[in-house]
Amino acid sequence: MMNPSCIECGATLSGRSDKKFCSDYCRATWHNRLYRKSVSDQSPVTRILRQNYAVLTRLLGSGRHRADRRHLEQWQFNPAYCTASRRDPLGRRIYSCYSYTYRLTLSGGLRILKA
């Protein structure tokens, strides 16, 4: 009977038969590569929108509804991408990023209107 081998490096495994990795290092390497692949499989637009969504979530999570331009740049919010846009009754452009609705300020900041 053949001994099972590590699915990352191919080393022969001993001990429990349900083991898939020879070490924590191999387990981490394997999972990291899987995660990187799933991230790189997303289109660039999806990645940007997810990053924007993460920034909005983080902002609200810290109890704020506004961010200035400097913070948006620091957090890599990309104002050129949104999931929808429309105008409010005053003619101002309102943007959506999935469930969030926000407005961009004249100074390049952002204000969340609805989460």
Q: How far is CA 109 from CA 2, 54, 56, 75, in A?
A: 62, 16, 12, 12
- 9 is a contact residue toward Zn ion (CB under 5 A): yes
- 28 is a contact residue toward Zn ion (CB under 5 A): no
Interface region with Zn ion, contact rule CB under 5 A, candidates 23-31, 37-45, 55-63, 77-85: 23-31
Residues 96 to 115 in contact with Zn ion, rule: CB under 5 A: none
- 6 is a contact residue toward Zn ion (CB under 5 A): yes
| CB-based burial label for 26 (10 Å; 0-12, 13-18, 19+) | middle
- Shortest distance, position 25 Cβ to Zn ion, whole Å: 7
The two counts, helices (H) then strands (E), for the chain are: 3, 5
Q: Which residues make beta-bridge pairs with 93?
A: 87
Interface region with Zn ion, contact rule CB under 5 A, candidates 10-18, 45-53, 63-71, 79-87: 10-18
| Residue ranges in contact with Zn ion by CB under 5 A | 6, 8-9, 11, 22, 26
